[in-house]
Amino acid sequence: MTQFIVRRILYSIVTLFILSGTIFLVVRMTGDPVLLLAEAGASTEDLDRVRQQWGLDRSWPVQYLAFMENAVRGELGKSFNYRMPVSELYFERLPNSLILGLAATAISLLVGVPAGIVSAVKVNSWWDNAAKGIGLLGLSIPGFWLGLVLILVFSVWLRWLPTSGAGDWRHVVMPAVALGWYFAASMLRLTRSSMLEVLGSEYIKLAKLKGLPEVVVIGMHAFKNALIPVLTLAGVNMVVMINAAVIVEVIFAWPGIGRLLYEGIFQRDFPLVQGVVIMAGFMIVGINLVVDVVYALIDPRIRLTR
């Protein structure tokens, strides 16, 4: 087991290494940040001065080495735009993103899991079709459109909720719904198919044969087993929601990491984009690591096959 964990951690490091190299290159090939930071009438001297100030006049390998050297020491560099360490900016925004991510995950689970169970238990019934309908709406409505409709209805017409920004719980409701909605659909799908798979398996049939009441069979046995993949997906989804909820954060002016990333990209704030992506990578790698280890604990065969 120890050997397994060590191996997985090594994999994670390789993953982060690939990620850092890719984002470093890709972001640099999107253009020169200096042009966006200078005025319409800037002279070449102006531009060179700015380039030098940020070390952009150095060659890419040198810049990459400097970036990695800092990253290893836990520093992600200084943002061009904010003149602050990227890690500081990231952690300043993180609580907001956590709140939003958790709330949206809760919504996606609260909607997706019960609906998925019902539709799996009552396959092809009216319930099943209703659940499929919800899933379809979740998959086919773009987040920005849903977000604006929510603002229009609940802020402008009904005047129940504030339009945007962060504050108390009322500020979280609409962004969390707009974000969780899409993921609820995938939760629903996964819960349904996962439940169907478990319900069709031999031991559930056996349990039914043994005469256990259906509620117990579904509630205790089937649900418990079907839950593992659902929670795994929920975990991965949450990491995505925390780090890349760009559209919802832009619509609702939510001060989270997604917006930080969005503005960083359009401003060509290289250190910021690199930093946020690396942090997201850390989280993804981390959650994958946990999932792998937990799975390996549950099912020892995995240790050998992977």
Partner 1 sequence: MRHVRFRVFAVAAVLVTVAATALPTWSQTKVTPKGKLTLAWHAGFASRWLDPQEHDGTATPDNFFTAIHDGLIKNQGTTLYDHPALAEKFAVAPDAKSATFTLRRGTTFHNGDPVTVQDVKFSYENYRGAKADVFKNRTERIELVDDRTVRFVFKEPFLDFAILFGTANVTAPGWVVPEKYYKQVGPDAFKQKPVGAGPYKLVRQEPGVKIELEAFDGYYRPVHTKHLVMVAVPEAATRVAMLERGEADIVYNIPGPLIPKVSKMPGVTLAPVLSGSFFLEFPGFQDPKNPFHDKRVREAVSLAIDRRAMNEAETAGMGKVTGNWINDDVQYAIDWPEFPRNVEKAKQLLREAGYPNGFEFSWITPLPTFYSRGERIIAQLREVGIRGRLQTMERGIFFQKLRGGMKEFPGIQMILHGVRIAGSWSFWYEAYFKCGGANSRDRVCVKDLDAKFDRYEKSINAAERKKLAEEIQRGILENHYLVPVFRHAFVNAIGPRVTAQKWQDIFPTITTGYAYPWEDIKVKE
Partner 2 sequence: MSTIATRPVVAPRTASGRLARFVKAAREAPLVAIVLLGGLVFMAIFAELIAPYDPTVPVPGATMFDPPFWMEGGRTTMILGSDFQGRDVLSRLIYGARVSLIVGLMGTLVAGGIGTALGILAGYVGGWVDQIIMRITDAWLALPAIVFAIFLAAMIGPSMWNIIIILGAVYWTRYARVIRGEVLSLRERDFVKLAEIAGASRFRVIKRHILPNVMNTATVLASLTVGVVIIAEASLSFLGVGVPPPQPAWGLMLAEARPTLMAGQWWLTVFPGVCILLIVLATQLFGDWLRVRLDPQQRNL
Contact residues: partner 1, CB under 8 A: 30-33, 35-47, 49, 78, 80-84, 89, 92, 148, 151-152, 155-156, 159, 162-165, 250-253, 255, 259-260, 263, 266-268
Which of partner 1, partner 2, none is residue 78 near (CB under 5 to 8 Å by kind)?
Answer: partner 1
Q: How far apart are CA 208 and CA 186, in angstroms?
A: 29
Q: Where are the alpha helices (DSSP H) in the chain?
A: 2-28, 33-37, 44-53, 60-72, 86-121, 126-140, 143-150, 169-199, 202-209, 214-216, 223-244, 246-251, 257-266, 270-298, 301-305
Which residue's CB is nearer to partner 2, number 14 or number 290? 14
Which residue's CB is nearer to partner 1, number 155 or number 225? 155
Q: How far apart are CA 158 and CA 176, in angstroms?
A: 18
Which of partner 1, partner 2, none is residue 240 near (CB under 5 to 8 Å by kind)?
Answer: partner 2
Q: Decide if residue 294 touches partner 2 (CB under 8 A).
A: no
Number of residues that bind partner 2 (CB under 8 A): 55
Put residue 47 in one of left, alpha, beta given phi > 0 → left and psi -120 to 50 → alpha.
alpha
Element (H, E) at 76: none
Which residue's CB is nearer to partner 1, number 78 or number 192? 78
Stretch that binds partner 2, among 51-59, 95-103, 173-181, 245-253 (CB under 8 A): 245-253
Annotate 182-204 with three-state secondary structure. Answer: HHHHHHHHHHHHHHHHHHCCHHH
Which residue's CB is nearer to partner 2, number 7 or number 49? 7
Which residue's CB is nearer to partner 1, number 223 or number 252? 252
In a 3-state reduction of DSSP, which class is residue 167? coil
CB 230, CB 111: distance < 8 Å: no
Q: Decide if residue 101 touches partner 2 (CB under 8 A).
A: no
Q: Decide if residue 19 touches partner 2 (CB under 8 A).
A: yes
Q: Binder to partner 2 among 3, 44, 59, 305 (CB under 8 A)?
A: 305
Six token digits for residue 222: 């089937």
Least Å distance between CB 12 and partner 1? 30
Six token digits for residue 141: 């409505």
Q: Decide if residue 184 touches partner 2 (CB under 8 A).
A: no
How many alpha carbons lie under 13 Å from residue 181 in its C-beta half-sphere?
A: 23
Q: Letter for the amino acid at 296?
A: A
Q: Decide if residue 136 touches partner 2 (CB under 8 A).
A: yes
Q: Which residues pair with 85 in a beta bridge?
A: 78
* Interacting residues with partner 2 (CB under 8 A): 11-12, 14-16, 18-19, 22-23, 26-27, 29-31, 132, 135-137, 139-145, 148-149, 152, 156, 190, 193-194, 196-197, 229, 236, 240, 243-244, 246-247, 250, 261-262, 265-266, 273, 277-278, 280-281, 284-285, 288, 305
